[in-house]
Amino acid sequence: MNPMPSLEPALKQLRLSGILDSLEVRNKQAIEDGLSHVEFLAMLVQDEVARREQKKFSLRIRRAGFRSQKTFEGFDFGYNPSINKSLILDLATCRFVEEKASVLIVGPCGTGKSHIAQALGHAGARRGYEVLFTSVGKLLGMLQAAKATNSYERKLSTLAKTDLLIIDDFGLKPFKTSEDEDFHDLIAERYERCPTIITSNLDFSEWGEAFNNKLLGAATLDRLRHGAYKVVLEGRSFRSSREEAMIKNCVAGAGENN
């Protein structure tokens, strides 16, 4: 008697229809290897667990809002030898998330700040953390929009509870009226509760210049810097290397045509 006609709807009813993806292969494997019923069942259950974990991971990645698939596998540590690779790879273990410590990344344009920040976010998502990647402008826009709809406290609470918040391009523009207050509110809510990653083109000594209210800025930065890991990037721009490669390819192509 073929059990498949009744098995498929039963699995769907139990929300285990993913088992159908590997059932035929696992059944063949069980027969060839002479596995017991329990061993066969264990393989199917493990497949289902792995499938669900991958689905959750994919959902976390979509919700994170990464600009692109930037991971450490795609980062060239040898391009700028001054990069503290050991520190960055230690951060990639996400120990800082458990410590609830901030990570502050500074350096000139094109040195890999956003790539490293997003790669840390990917590492966090792999470990089951909810991650949000956003620019400081977009972040402040969300908070301002929430004020307009009387949902500021709810939005602030949601952002404050995000396992790992990544804020890109801090200090690119000075804060406008009340924006420094919103930023302070968020950092204060996350302080010693959830870690925050911030990237900036500014040196650490210049961060205070982004705030209109200097006293408020000092209080905000004091919370950010307390126990934070600091990553300083120096050297050539990765973007320049791509431009140089394109020019070389064009020159080489022109030479071949001649």
pLDDT averaged per 10 residues, the chain (length 258): 80 88 90 93 92 93 91 91 94 97 95 96 97 97 96 97 98 92 97 97 95 95 97 84 46 50
CA angle 172, 190, 183 (to 5 degrees): 35
Give the pair of three-digit tokens for residue 83.
């990069």
Phi/psi-derived region of residue 182, left when phi > 0, alpha when psi is between -120 and 50, beta in every other case: alpha
pLDDT at 128: 96
Give the closest residue to 128 by CA, choosing from 59, 196, 186.
Answer: 59
For the chain, list the domains and their CATH numbers. Answer: 4-57 (no CATH), 72-240 (3.40.50.300)
Report how far residue 57's alpha carbon sits from residue 51's, in angstroms, rounded to the nearest whole number. 10
State pTM to two decimals: 0.82
pLDDT at 81: 87
Would you give the distance in Å from CA 89 to the centre of its chain? 15
pLDDT at 192: 95
pLDDT at 257: 54
Evaluate whether 16 touches 2 at the Cβ level (below 8 Å).
no
Torsional sign, CA 149, 152, 157, 162: positive
Report how far residue 88's alpha carbon sits from residue 120's, in angstroms, rounded to the nearest whole number. 9
φ/ψ of residue 228, rounded to 5: -80, 150
pLDDT at 251: 39
Classified as helix, coil or strand, 200 is strand
For residue 133, the cross-strand partners are 166
Evaluate whether 96 touches 195 at the Cβ level (below 8 Å).
yes
